[in-house]
Amino acid sequence: MPTALITGGSSGLGAEFARQLAASGHDLILTARDEARLAAIAVELRDCYRARVAIVPADLATVGGCEVIAARLRQGGAASVDLLVNNAGIGFGTPATRNSIHQELELLQVNAAAKAHLTLAALPVMRARGSGAIINVSSVAALAPAWTDSGYGAAEAHVLAFTEALAYSRAVRGSGVRLMALCPGAVKTGFNARAGIADSLTPEWRWITAQAVVRCALRDLRRGRTVSIPSARYKFLAFLLKHLPHRMAPLYARDFGDLPRAGQQAQPSPAP
């Protein structure tokens, strides 16, 4: 049985990766901070799919926590991990200029540095074996500076650029290892509630389901894509953002400072 290790496997996209990979016969290693929630999803996966599931609690906001997972990824032979899904991430509804520096550094660590850490830990074993795959979960927010006063897009841009830089490198090309960045748009998960962002801010047509995102990601990985952008509407948005002159960015940029908190009424968008 192939083995997949999923960070942030207790909720949202990570839990959905776990379900779809369990359904396709993977053994799973799930990690996040909350051990009780990890245990609950492990029970669900064993009951529904008869999957073999191990849970490893770790805080990816610390280098020590990353090393716990990195050590697991460095194991070779029968214990080797075939697919790493670098998915754990956080966001803040409050603007970067009002957050503490500690909060902003935590976001950079969890959303960007931890993914680089685990990618670099997994790659040597996968390259030596001549097989393996890494999905680094980024966001459409990585594609342009559309959300100002937030470090989120910048952290996601690091994930996208780092994944592409490695995927096209001599070290990875032809090694049998596949790297792919996943850039979803708005997905209803626990993300907004944790970030303190009201779901009502996002028009209904912009939501995509976690099921559709993960289905598309796994299909794009099989097809050898380096960047996966689920759904036609977000592919179109990505096309526009890529081809609009960069000097237009301030016109479509949206200030995170304007976001209503969860439980408040959404205000009309201040920017087109």
Q: C-beta of 173: minimal distance to ligand NAP in Å?
A: 26
User: Which pair of structure tokens corresponds to residue 164?
Assistant: 């592409």
Site for ligand NAP contains 199 (CB under 6 A): no
Q: C-beta of 130: minimal distance to ligand NAP in Å?
A: 29
Site for ligand NAP contains 72 (CB under 6 A): no
The only residue of 29, 60, 135, 237 in contact with ligand NAP, by rule CB under 6 A:
60
Site for ligand NAP contains 110 (CB under 6 A): yes
Cα separation, 214 vs 200, whole angstroms: 23
| From 120-128, 160-168, 179-187, 252-260, span contacting ligand NAP (CB under 6 A) | 179-187
Site for ligand NAP contains 14 (CB under 6 A): yes
Interface with ligand NAP: number of residues (CB under 6 A): 28
Between residues 52 and 206, which has the closer beta carbon with respect to ligand NAP?
206
Q: C-beta of 176: minimal distance to ligand NAP in Å?
A: 26
Residues ≥6 apart with Cβ < 8 Å to 245: none
Between residues 5 and 175, which has the closer beta carbon with respect to ligand NAP?
5
SS3 4: strand
Residue type, 88: A
User: Which pair of structure tokens corresponds to residue 76?
Assistant: 């070779």
Q: C-beta of 245: minimal distance to ligand NAP in Å?
A: 25
SS3 76: coil
Between residues 134 and 187, which has the closer beta carbon with respect to ligand NAP?
187
Chain-centre distance for alpha carbon 18: 13
| From 9-17, 170-178, 225-233, 254-262, span contacting ligand NAP (CB under 6 A) | 9-17
Q: Is 29 exposed, middle or buried (0-12, 13-18, 19+ CB in 10 A)?
A: buried
Site for ligand NAP contains 132 (CB under 6 A): no
Between residues 26 and 37, which has the closer beta carbon with respect to ligand NAP?
37
| From 88-96, 117-125, 219-227, 229-237, span contacting ligand NAP (CB under 6 A) | 88-96
Task: Please choose, from the candidates 104, 91, 81, the residue with its C-alpha nearest in 3D space to the C-alpha of residue 138.
Answer: 91
Element (H, E) at 257: none
User: Which pair of structure tokens corresponds to residue 141?
Assistant: 């927010």
Between residues 51 and 88, which has the closer beta carbon with respect to ligand NAP?
88
Q: Half-sphere exposure (CA, 13 Å, Cβ side) for 94?
A: 9
The structure tokens 């080797």 sit at 80
SS3 250: helix
Cα separation, 231 vs 118, whole angstroms: 28
Judged by the rule CB under 6 A, the positions of this chain that interact with ligand NAP are: 8, 10-14, 32-34, 37, 59-61, 87-90, 110-111, 137, 139, 184, 186-187, 189-191, 194
